[in-house]
Amino acid sequence: MRNQVLLACGMAAGPLFTVAYLLQGASRVGYRPFRHPVSSLAFSRAGWVQTVNFLLAGLLSLIFAVGLWRVGPSRWGALLISAWAVGLLGAGAFRTDPVSGYPPGTPDQLQRHTRAGALHDLFSLIGFLALAMACFVFALSNSLWWTIYSIVSGVLFATTMALASAAFDQHQRWVDLGGLIQRISLTIGWTWQMLLAVRLLRT
């Protein structure tokens, strides 16, 4: 029963994180979900909600990693999920810098990053890379469909995150779609983690 609870945390983290940022993005004045990153929701008086969202998702994913360590099938995979969780916790602990004109009145791209913004980006990068690698590690399975799905998820997650990063760096082709691309990427990653948890709970 204890292991089931640990694994269930990995199933719940993604949906909770997604619902929280969608509700915030829909109600925030001046915020454009297609253009602005999820991290920018940490600005304004209600910014604490997104901070808590990062921390809760990180904590649930870290608990999930403990479950993975206990039940398998890969200790390396469990460590990578732990790194993904730490990335989320760090992204919550350190607020991002303004980007793409949000909050209103800020430039599209800062000339100098703050220390907190640099740490936010560093933790985010560590987390994204860890989750992409976890997809490939957990692809090693006796189930063909799961192997294919995990590999495709890892490739698409990494690719869309790279495109979102280019958009937030003000690449003209992608800048107005950076938020949308990031949300697609997060959906891919969270869905994979949720299905991994479901798969292990069934077995």
Reported as a single tens digit per residue, the pLDDT across 164-190 is 999 999 999 999 999 999 999 999 999
Read off the pLDDT of residues 109-125 as tens digits, 9 standing for 90 and up. 887 889 999 999 999 99
Tell me how far CA of residue 138 lies from CA of 52, 80, 132, 133, in angstroms.
29, 10, 10, 9
Give 141's pLDDT tier (boundaries 50, 70, 90).
confident
Give me the pLDDT at residue 1, please.
67
The pLDDT score that the predictor gives to residue 112 is 83
**Domain span holding position 52:** 2-202
Domain count, the chain: 1
User: In the structure, what pLDDT confidence band is assigned to residue 137 with cuts at 50, 70 and 90?
Assistant: very high
Per the CB < 8 A criterion, the answer to whether 157 and 183 are in contact is no
Residue 185 · residue 195 · CB < 8 Å: no
Measure the CA angle with vertex 179, ends 173 and 182; round to 5°. 95
Q: What is the pLDDT of residues 20-59, one digit of tens each?
A: 999 999 999 999 999 999 999 999 889 999 999 999 999 9
Considering the chain, what is the average pLDDT of its residues?
95
User: Which of 118, 119, 54, 117 is CA-nearest to residue 85?
Assistant: 54
